[in-house]
Structure 1
């Protein structure tokens, strides 16, 4: 399989499977059992806790696609519950638990883990701090299914960080990208207050940003052989199957 064919095959399944974890009530329940109140505290503190005790403005700058009010409220609400690094570890544990409940049992997760780690190790972390933080998060070797889910999340963070960079290079804001992708009404669910429609003339910029994102990820997938890319795409689709 060619590099860009593989990227195209795995990008959406990796994104959507990670989204399913983030939006699952079971994930929210893990946060509440750890002491977080209902809302975005566990999500913000857990996902962005790999950045350490950063000011909320720094967290907002790193993630880019969520509205400032959502990030501010969630990050500050979670701060009294536990330190950032502990929250990130708790979130990683929730990832692995969710993976054990949702990854199909007949998938060769060991082979997936080998190929996924090869991609993760190959990545250049320059200008990708959220990905760098998640790559540094410990991943236990005695839980292959949970580790597979954590690696899905790490790869998702790599594409997300690349995409934010690409969006800005193409002259769009994170809010504009979310409105183009989701529409005005859905963008409000991600924390953007009173978002406005984006002019049709700006939509091609997001299409170019998607191309740039693929190009930024090409270095990773070049580290696999054609056969390995075919195997990786097959495994991703098997792992994330409904």
Structure 2
């Protein structure tokens, strides 16, 4: 499998899996056990790897969200505990989700090893969330290690995508509307009126092409058989978790 093929095969399911596990019951329950509920279950869980920073740092890293909702979630995280503890609790919950969802799959050790090679080669450049998750301890359990790799892959591509959106001159709200529509923009904290999605499609396609090109490059760190295994494993997990 070529770098282009694995990048194309994994982009959509990795993003969709993230939307699934962040809001999975077992992850929410694990976060609550550590005292994190509500917005900190996402903002603190995802952003806690940045450390005990000001909300401006987290707003910048999240990029596509209305700053007010990120600031609110970050302040609530600090009220409920420390941001690093929120990220650690999320990582535990992520491992539990993996155990419940796909621990029976073969080849998880190989997947985790192949993706770690990708991460070792992909040096972060203005990708704070990717850098933070890349630095998280890798669990010994193969399923938990695989789930962590899914989260790191998600942040790796997200970081490249934010770079690409900036390169084509897309505002955050425009990027969300172009990709997912006005309803998703509202979920990200933005308010009407929204621009016509069709008027934004060309610029967004250009940003996606730039993002894909960057992902193609990082997958050159592993060989064709490893790339095929990464794609197959992501596909198998997505089939189980997303139906």
Offset of residue 54 of structure 1: 1.5
Residue pair 1:183, 1:197 contacting (<8 A) in 2 also: no
Offset of residue 156 of structure 1: 0.6
d(CA) in 2 for partners of 1:221, 1:185:
33
RMSD: 1.5
| Aligned counterpart, 2:199 | 201
* CA offsets 1:65-99 (integer angstroms, 9 cap, x no match): 22222211111111022212222111111111111
After the TM superposition, which of the residue ranges 56-65 and 104-113 deviates more from structure 2?
104-113
Question: In the alignment, which of 233, 236, 241 is matched to residue 234 of structure 2?
Answer: 236
Offset of residue 163 of structure 1: 0.6
| Aligned counterpart, 2:222 | 224
Unaligned runs of 5+ in 1: none
| Aligned counterpart, 1:99 | 98
* CA offsets 1:38-57 (integer angstroms, 9 cap, x no match): x2112111210111111111
After the TM superposition, which of the residue ranges 9-18 and 28-37 deviates more from structure 2?
28-37
Residue pair 1:122, 1:223 contacting (<8 A) in 2 also: yes
After the TM superposition, which of the residue ranges 81-90 and 147-156 deviates more from structure 2?
81-90
| Aligned counterpart, 2:135 | 136
Offset of residue 186 of structure 1: 2.4
| Aligned counterpart, 2:31 | 31
Offset of residue 140 of structure 1: 2.0
Residue pair 2:178, 2:200 contacting (<8 A) in 1 also: no
d(CA) in 1 for partners of 2:239, 2:18:
12
**After the TM superposition, which residues 20-169 of structure 1 pair with which residues of structure 2 at under 5 Å, given as runs?**
20-37=20-37, 39-103=38-102, 105-141=104-140, 143-169=141-167
Question: In the alignment, which of 171, 177, 190 is matched to residue 179 of structure 1?
Answer: 177
Residue pair 1:104, 1:238 contacting (<8 A) in 2 also: no
Local SS of the residue matching 2:105 = coil
After the TM superposition, which of the residue ranges 7-16 and 179-188 deviates more from structure 2?
179-188
4+ residue runs over 6 A deviation: none
TM-score of the superposed pair, with normalisation by structure 2: 0.93
| Aligned counterpart, 1:8 | 8
Is 1:215 the counterpart of 2:205? The answer is: no
Residue pair 2:108, 2:146 contacting (<8 A) in 1 also: yes
Unaligned runs of 5+ in 2: none
